């Protein structure tokens, strides 16, 4: 009996001890979980501080120290990849070596060339020894000098004479009066020549010189041209060039592949009121490698209706960043940008030391981006000169890029389960999860690029100009700037001398029926009707 009681007491004590141990284990687990969350929160806050410091004190480039690249490859062992990193067959090809010398060998092919011959004349042609006349035996040497010819403004006073037939007047009593043809300019009854308007536009939209600085520029040349006068010319030029812009837009919408981006600008007196809200300049462009079209479109909002209204029923490939507003172009196939995915992972690793890189889970995602770019670079270097480049790239991508993207997606799906959503890694994984499937659409066509960098580069001229202009005075002014920027940037992309091209447009828009599509096509920057002296010759 006593033994039984003792046994029961021991059982109760054991049970009590077990419960206490379990309770302590639960408390420890809760503390561990709390510590884990606090560590994650600490890492998140450190990431926020690091990101702020980088924005304030760091450089904007996303380049990574070359000494760290081996660590990115080393991190691959943590990714549990189902496929090996792509290896391309070795291809040998010849490429002309580029010289770093930037002196006389720079490209001078686009400059007017004046030949000045230095010959002996008069008494100098007589031999100093015997007095006989010297005979030319050849050219001793040639010397090239680049001479700067200062710009100047002149006033052309055109006097238009009229003529009458006195014989007709004697016979019929009526004079047959004929006048000489007066020179025509793009602006009726304006003092501005087509050349001067073109120069003003190039200064403002290609070289980012605001009109108030142009006042001083022209004043030094002896002409007092007010900012209001220059502004009127700019607005009138945009109106005159509108048929060119509309034809370019029609051409763009017929392409199968469009890149898009948008940026902000400040507009005051929009609709007659001072406005502090953000306005937007949208950019749409075609493949830069074949008859490029680059168009800007000013809008007062970032609404999804903006790309919808501009692109309409466009049914091709639309490549953008991750902004959902582009989904309104419902007939288009969205292609997302690898550079934006890469940027998230780059922001995680950029401030890490060598030891931290080895344990970072973010470096694995960054490494996948680097592998994709490496594959694209090797394809470009090996085949870009081949006329079947896009077909070759389509086939190689199907074999090597497709499994690489699938592997990237698998990594994201695994890691996102354990990452703190608010942490830099959590945000990177969430962005990649949403947009990697759209990036995979590059496999559908060999002409598609893996990133939207072309659009980001194309919008930079406007961003630079925006810093100089500070703001547009009115919505109409911003829309006019969009038209002119579009024509300037499209001309540049088609390797034209912009100022000469603008003069060409002004001269010919006066002569054609602007409702005739064929006539407008002849004026497009890619037209074979464009005079040779407007084309920038390739560097030799």
Choose among 288, 277, 282: nearest CA to 328. 282
7 pLDDT more than 90: no
Say which residues have a Cβ less than 8 Å from residue 128's Cβ, sequence separation at least 6.
Answer: none
Residues 426-463: tens digit of each pLDDT: 999 999 999 999 999 999 999 999 999 999 888 887 77
pLDDT by residue (tens digit) across 174-183? 878 888 888 8
What is the rounded average pLDDT of the residues 362-381?
94
Task: Supply 370's token pair.
Answer: 């680097």
Percent share of the chain, pLDDT over 70 = 82
Residue 170 sits at φ, ψ, to 5 deg, of -70, -40
Identify which of 271, 195, 81, 217 has the alpha carbon closest to the alpha carbon of residue 497.
195
Instruction: Report whether pLDDT(117) > 90.
Output: no
- Average pLDDT in the chain: 82
Is residue 31 scored above 90 in pLDDT?
no
Burial class (CB in 10 A: 0-12, 13-18, 19+), 503: buried
Residue 64's pLDDT band (cuts 50, 70, 90): low
Higher-confidence position of 428 and 92: 428
Would you mind telling me the total number of residues written for the chain in this entry?
Answer: 540
Residue pair 461/430 in contact by the 8 Å Cβ criterion: no
pTM, two decimal places: 0.76
- Evaluated on CA atoms 237, 243, 244, 248, the torsion sign reads positive
- pLDDT, tens digit (0-9, with 9 covering 90-100), for 285-300: 998 888 999 999 999 8
For the record, the structure tokens of 387 come out as 């006329």
Helix (H) / strand (E) containing 31: helix 2-57
What the block records as the tokens of 138 is 């050849």
In the numeric block, the tokens 């902004």 are attached to 323
Pairing of strands 294-299, 333-335: unpaired
140-153 pLDDT per residue, tens: 788 787 777 778 89
Q: Which of 201-205, 317-321, 417-421, 501-505 has the lowest mean pLDDT?
A: 417-421
Mean pLDDT confidence for 313-323: 95
Instruction: Report yes or no: 230 and 214 within 8 Å, Cβ to Cβ.
Output: yes
Residue 188 has pLDDT above 90, yes or no: no
Least reliable range by pLDDT among 195-209, 263-277, 345-359, 380-394: 263-277
Nearest to 471 by CA among 267, 254, 219, 200: 267
The residues, ordered by sequence, that sit 6+ positions from 317 with a Cβ below 8 Å of its Cβ are 256, 257, 258, 332, 333, 335, 441, 444, 445, 448
Helices 498-509/475-493 angle, 10° precision? 110
User: Which one has a higher pLDDT value, 157 or 539?
Assistant: 157
């Amino acid at each position: 009996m006593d033994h039984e009681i003792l046994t029961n007491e021991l059982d109760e004590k054991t049970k009590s001890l077990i419960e206490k141990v379990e309770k302590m284990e639960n408390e420890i687990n809760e503390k561990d979980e709390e510590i884990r969350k606090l560590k994650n929160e600490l890492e998140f806050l450190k990431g926020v501080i690091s990101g702020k410091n980088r924005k304030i004190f760091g450089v904007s480039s996303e380049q990574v120290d070359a000494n760290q690249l081996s660590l990115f490859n080393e991190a691959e062992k943590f990714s549990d990849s189902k496929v090996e990193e792509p290896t391309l067959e070795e291809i040998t090809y010849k490429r002309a070596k580029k010289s770093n010398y930037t002196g006389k060998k720079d490209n001078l092919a686009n400059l007017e060339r004046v030949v000045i011959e230095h010959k002996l004349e008069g008494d100098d042609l007589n031999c100093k020894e015997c007095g006989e006349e010297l005979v030319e035996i050849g050219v001793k040497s040639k010397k090239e000098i680049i001479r700067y010819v200062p710009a100047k403004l002149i006033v052309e006073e055109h006097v238009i004479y009229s003529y009458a037939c006195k014989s007709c007047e004697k016979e019929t009593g009526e004079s047959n009066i004929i006048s000489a043809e007066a020179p025509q300019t793009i602006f009726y009854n304006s003092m501005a020549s087509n050349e001067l308007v073109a120069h003003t536009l190039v200064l403002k939209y290609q070289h980012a010189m605001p009109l108030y600085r142009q006042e001083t520029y022209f004043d030094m040349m002896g002409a007092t041209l007010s900012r209001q006068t220059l502004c009127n010319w700019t607005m009138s030029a945009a109106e005159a060039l509108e048929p060119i812009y509309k034809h370019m837009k029609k051409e763009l919408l017929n392409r199968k592949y469009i890149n898009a981006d948008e940026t902000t600008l400040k507009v005051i007196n929009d609709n007659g009121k001072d406005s502090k809200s953000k306005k937007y300049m949208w950019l749409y462009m075609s493949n830069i490698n074949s008859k490029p079209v680059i168009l800007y479109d000013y809008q007062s909002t970032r609404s999804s209706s903006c790309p919808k209204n501009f692109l309409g029923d466009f049914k091709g490939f639309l490549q953008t960043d991750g902004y959902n507003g582009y989904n309104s172009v419902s007939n288009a196939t969205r292609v997302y940008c690898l550079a934006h995915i890469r940027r998230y992972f780059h922001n995680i690793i950029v401030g890490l030391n060598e030891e931290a890189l080895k344990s970072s889970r973010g470096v694995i995602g960054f490494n996948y981006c680097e592998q994709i770019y490496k594959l694209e670079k090797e394809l470009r270097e090996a085949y870009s000169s081949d006329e079947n480049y896009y077909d070759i790239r389509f086939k190689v991508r199907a074999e090597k890029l497709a499994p690489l993207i699938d592997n990237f997606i698998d990594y994201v799906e695994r890691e996102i389960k354990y990452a703190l959503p608010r942490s830099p890694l959590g945000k990177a994984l969430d962005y990649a999860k949403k947009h990697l499937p759209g990036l995979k659409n590059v496999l559908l066509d060999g002409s598609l690029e893996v990133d939207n960098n072309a659009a980001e580069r194309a919008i930079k001229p406007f961003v630079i100009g925006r810093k100089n202009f500070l703001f547009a005075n009115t919505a109409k002014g911003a829309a006019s700037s969009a038209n002119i920027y579009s024509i300037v940037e499209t001309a540049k992309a088609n390797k034209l001398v912009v100022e000469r091209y603008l003069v060409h447009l002004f001269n010919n828009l006066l002569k054609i029926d602007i409702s005739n599509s064929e006539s407008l096509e002849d004026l497009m920057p890619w037209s074979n009707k464009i005079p040779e002296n407007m084309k920038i010759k390739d560097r030799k």
